[in-house]
Amino acid sequence: MRKLLVVRNDKLGDLILILPALKLIKSSCSNIQIDCLVDKKYSEISSITKYIDATIYDDTNLVEVINNNNYDFSISFYSSFVTSYKLWLSNIPKRYAPATKLAQIFHNKKIKQNRSLSLKSEYEYNNALAKFFLKDNFYKILPADNSYISLNEKSISSKNKILIFIHPFTGGSSKTLSGDDFIQLCFELDRNVNCKFILHCATDDYVKCQKLAEKAEGLDISTIDPTNNLIEMYKNINSCDLFIAGSTGPLHVAASLNKKTVGFYPSKQSSTLVRWDTINDRKNKLTYSDTGNDKNFIKVDLKKIANEISRDLLNQL
């Protein structure tokens, strides 16, 4: 059994976007164990995907933990200077990473990717790095069709209505629609289809979501009981028929379950829908770019988009 440590210890959405690469590696290497260095908040992800065998997280003993695991390889999908230095100290024989930033000096297997140009999606860049690893170690690249996440539990019932989750805040990672525009979108959708709406949020945004719900008189709408537990978040999102959000971690959670999604993206080069595309099937997603000049919020044609969502996603349910 060969042992691979992959590194993606930053944001949730970024972690989700390495799953296609890990699936590619697992399908091509029957004799490999994949451990993942993650943010401690997401350490339970290995319990719901077969593409991560175990997780570790960064603390004062990280070098010792890595040494004790005797990894044959590492792949840094995210290469911070400090973490890359610790990988180098750990003497992993082959350390793969994009040839970017000063941190590349600590890796001995590198490819140029120019991710900052955003010419393709983040998961495609990750797949390219995985293929570089496979070819360099003489593995035949084999595709796989299995799902990314194994989860059957659902925590919310819609009572025969189409259940739509609206995630109106992004935690500052990227601008999105205004809260008022999200509510207006709900009204537009409700004219077309009989819906139940759930405002989905992080714990810090719970009060703001409650205030938004007060503006939606006449809709069947409520605010979720938010959670900081990743598995509980997955169970909640697994309940929905459609997930609508800006470019943020929970949108990628929904996509990893192959849910129907609608994503709103800024026009800024580093944040476009091309770069941060989701990993659900193409038929299950609609994506929209900012068409306005508002510095704080994305602006789009809400009525037009509601009609497209109803026609292309909801009428299939």
Residue burial 208-241, b: 16+ Cβ < 10 Å; e: rest:
ebeebbeebeebbbebbebeeebeebbbbbbbbb
pTM: 0.96
216 vs 134: CA distance, rounded Å: 52
* The two structure tokens encoding residue 311: 């026609």
pLDDT of amino acid 305:
98
Q: φ, ψ for residue 222 (rounded to 5)?
A: -150, 170
pLDDT of amino acid 270:
86
* Residues contacting residue 235 through CB under 8 Å, at least 6 positions apart: 151, 153, 154, 155
Contact between 198 and 164 under an 8 Å Cβ cutoff? The reply is yes
* The two structure tokens encoding residue 106: 């600590």
Closest by CA position to 110, among listed 121, 122, 101: 101
Tell how many helices (H) and how many strands (E) occur in the chain.
10, 12
Domains and CATH numbers, the chain: 2-136 (3.40.50.2000), 162-316 (3.40.50.2000)
Q: φ, ψ for residue 146 (rounded to 5)?
A: -70, 160
Residue with tokens 């205030």: 211
pLDDT of amino acid 73:
98
pLDDT of amino acid 143:
85
* pLDDT in single tens digits along all 317 residues of the chain: 999 999 999 999 999 999 999 999 999 998 999 999 999 999 999 999 999 999 999 988 999 999 999 999 999 998 899 999 999 999 999 999 999 889 999 999 999 999 989 999 999 999 999 999 999 999 999 988 889 999 998 888 877 899 999 999 987 668 999 999 999 999 999 999 999 999 999 999 999 999 999 999 999 999 999 999 999 999 999 999 999 999 999 999 999 999 999 999 999 888 999 999 999 999 999 999 999 989 999 999 999 999 999 999 998 78
